[in-house]
Chain A
Amino acid sequence: MDDGHDRRRGGGHLPPGHEPGAQSRRVKLGRRIVGPVIGLLALAALGGGVALFATASTDTSPSGARVGGFVLVAMAVFFGWLTYWIWRRGNPRQCGYLRLVVDPVEARRGDTVRATLTITDVDHCGEQLELGLVCTEYWDDKVESYNQYGEQTNRVTKTVDAAKEFRPAQRVAQQTMEFQVPAESPFSYEGSAVSWAWHVSAVDRREHHVDPRRDVPIWVSP
Chain B
Amino acid sequence: MSVPVTIHPEKDAYNPGDTVSGTVVVVESASAHQLELTLEYRDATSDYVGIARTVALAGPLTQGDLQEHASFPFSVALPADALPNCKGVIGLTTWGLHAQVVRTGFDANMWHPIDVLPHTS
Contacts and interface: CB of A to CB of B under 8 A. Distances in A.
A175 interface: no
Given A189-B83, A189-B86, A194 B47 contact: no
Main secondary structure of the interface of A (DSSP, over half): strand
Interface string A22-35: 11000000000000
A135 to B, nearest CB: 8
Interface residues of B, number: 21
A139 interface: yes
A139 B51 CA distance: 15
A192 interface: yes
Given A194-B43, A194-B91, A187 B83 contact: yes
B92 interface: yes
Interface in B70-103: 83-84, 86-93
A222 interface: yes
Given A187-B83, A222-B84, A222-B119, A193 B89 contact: no
B31 interface: no
A139 B52 contact: no
Interface string A1-40: 0000000000000000000001100000000000000000
Contacts, number: 70
B50 interface: yes
A141 B45 contact: yes
A109 B121 CA distance: 12
B92 A194 contact: yes
Interface of A: 22-23, 109, 137, 139-142, 155, 160-162, 186-187, 189, 191-196, 222
Given A189-B43, A195-B43, 14 more contacts: A137-B91, A139-B91, A141-B45, A162-B88, A189-B83, A189-B86, A191-B91, A191-B93, A192-B43, A192-B48, A193-B45, A194-B88, A222-B83, A222-B118
Interface of B: 43-45, 47-52, 83-84, 86-93, 118-119
